[in-house]
Every structure is written in structure tokens, then in C-alpha cells.
Homo-oligomer: A and B are copies of this chain.
Amino acid sequence: MLINIDFRDKRPLYEQVSGKIEDLILKGVIGKDEPLPSVRSLAIELSINPNTIQKAYSAMEKDGFLYSVSGRGSFAANVEELRPRKQKEFFLELDGLIRRAQDLGITISQILEHITAMQAVGK
């Protein structure tokens, strides 16, 4: 697994772990129905308490990122079904951010300009 933990990060460990794995699933690095590492093996690899990994997996399952088959392990869910919800969440967050910008004296035009500039750079 291409996961690295940052102990300086203020977020709880289990959230960091689940966040990283969710990214891998969303990016398609881990494909649909592909098996995830077992709780124990990942715990050893990251030298983290298994309880913490278990918590991360439970959170992801509740969030629909994976499904677990008792006795067989955990598997990545179908991303395509997840995307619309995540996209909706993204736009809500964007709306909030832009509303805040108004108070800072930033105009919509400036924001549009900034984003197109980003695009040009190929960021």
C-alpha cells in the first residue's frame, strides 16, 4: 500500500488511514471488488494498533467505500456509484468557500480568473 502516516497531522490516525484509502479507491488505483489488505497486515505495515485500522475500515464501510465479506476480507466498492454523492459534497463545500470569499472583498471575477490561471499552468 502506498500509504504514509503523518504523525504531526492533527486528525486522528484512523481518519488519516481511511482518507488515504478512500483517495486510492476514488482515483481507481484500487479497482472495484479488488481486495484490500487485511486489518492485521496493514496494522503491521504501518505499525499502528489494529484497533485503529479496524475503526478506519468500519468508517469506510459505513460510508460505502468498501464491503466486507466475513471470513474473506474487505473489498473496494463500485466507485461509479459513489462519485455523484462525493461530487455533490464538493460543490457544497465550494459554495461555502466562495460565500466566505465575498466577506474578504474577493469578487467572483477574481476567483474565475484565478482558476483559469491555475488551469493554464496545468496544475
Contact = CB atoms under 8 A, between A and B. Distances in A.
Copy number in the complex reads: 4
Contacts of A101: 90
Interface string A88-116: 00110111011111011110100110111
Contacts of A71: 12
A23 interface: yes
A9 B100 CA distance: 18
Contacts of A100: 90
B86 A7 contact: no
Contacts of A12: 70-71
Given A90-B101, A94-B97, A101-B90, A116 B123 contact: no
